[in-house]
Amino acid sequence: MSSSSLDTEKTPSWVRDNIRAVFSAFVLYVTFTTFLFQPFNIPSESMLPTLKIGDFLFVSKYSYGYGRYALPLPVDLGPVVGKKRTFFREPKRGDIIVFENEKLGVTYIKRLIALPGDTLQVKDSIVYLNGQAIQRTPAPDFVDEEGQAFSAFTETLPSGVSYTVLEKDGNMDHLDNTPLITIPPEMYFMMGDNRDRSADSRDPSLGLVHQSTFRGRAERIFYSSRGNHNILQFWAFPFSLRADRFFVDLRPFY
């Protein structure tokens, strides 16, 4: 009998079972986060009031197929994959999409407003899609957790998708007026719901977004915390949780 066989026989069965369980859990986790869902947390207020800083959500990797940024592998697939996507499915106006800003190497989350072939222009905060103003009606003012008040509006896309957008600076902001553009093939126009606090496709630092940079579609908030307590003040932790935002389904918002 070989020494390796003796070693195996000497290993308690509960140790082998635990090793198998840990390995199986690792394989499931890698499969889950690579091909199905990836956790993502909200770092800025650009998607208020739909998403808040401290929200943690699941992003579906399969919604638009798989590309360079949809697979979180330890190697850069760019030279091999380029801008190709496998099993690509066209997103819809209003989708909340996580994507990569290749210019800055930063991950963004924004709402898709215009598809390839659409024309778009922002004039005095109103978005004109294919020559028609996107319907916007006043909504009750929104006050954030720091006490800042925002003017709120319900915006409704031609498909019937409605969501709330915020304005803070009226129509004076440089992002409230853009040139008329036609969206090229494979490119998309993204905007944050917090219009005066969002660097998005209106801003040259981002511009139009190529489909190859999509990571996935925001699906569900699974956890949310204000995160404004001192880490040493552990007793304050329960009071920082936003329990009303746990497991919130985001699909009704697009």
Q: Which two tokens stand for residue 204?
A: 């040259």
pLDDT of residue 2: 45
52 is catalytic: no
Extended strands (E) in 157-225: 162-167, 181-182, 187-191, 209-210, 214-224
pLDDT of residue 75: 47
pLDDT of residue 179: 93
pLDDT of residue 8: 47
Choose, from 5, 10, 24, 46, the residue flagged as catalytic.
Answer: 46
pLDDT of residue 53: 93
Distance CA 46, CA 30 (A): 30
Q: Are 209 and 188 in contact (CB under 8 A)?
A: yes
Find, among 144, 206, 192, 196, the residue nearest to 175 by Cα.
Answer: 196
Q: In order along the chain (254 residues), what is the average pLDDT of each group of 10 residues?
A: 48 66 60 68 94 93 79 53 73 95 88 98 95 96 92 95 90 83 97 94 92 92 76 62 90 72
Any idea how long the chain is? 254
Give CA separation, 36 vs 1, 65, 153, 228, 244, in Å. Answer: 45, 10, 34, 31, 25
Choose, from 110, 125, 198, 225, the residue flagged as catalytic.
Answer: 110
110 is catalytic: yes
Distance CA 200, CA 207 (A): 7
* CATH, range 39-253: 2.10.109.10
**In the chain, domain spans:** 39-253
Q: Which two tokens stand for residue 232?
A: 């040493």
pLDDT of residue 115: 97
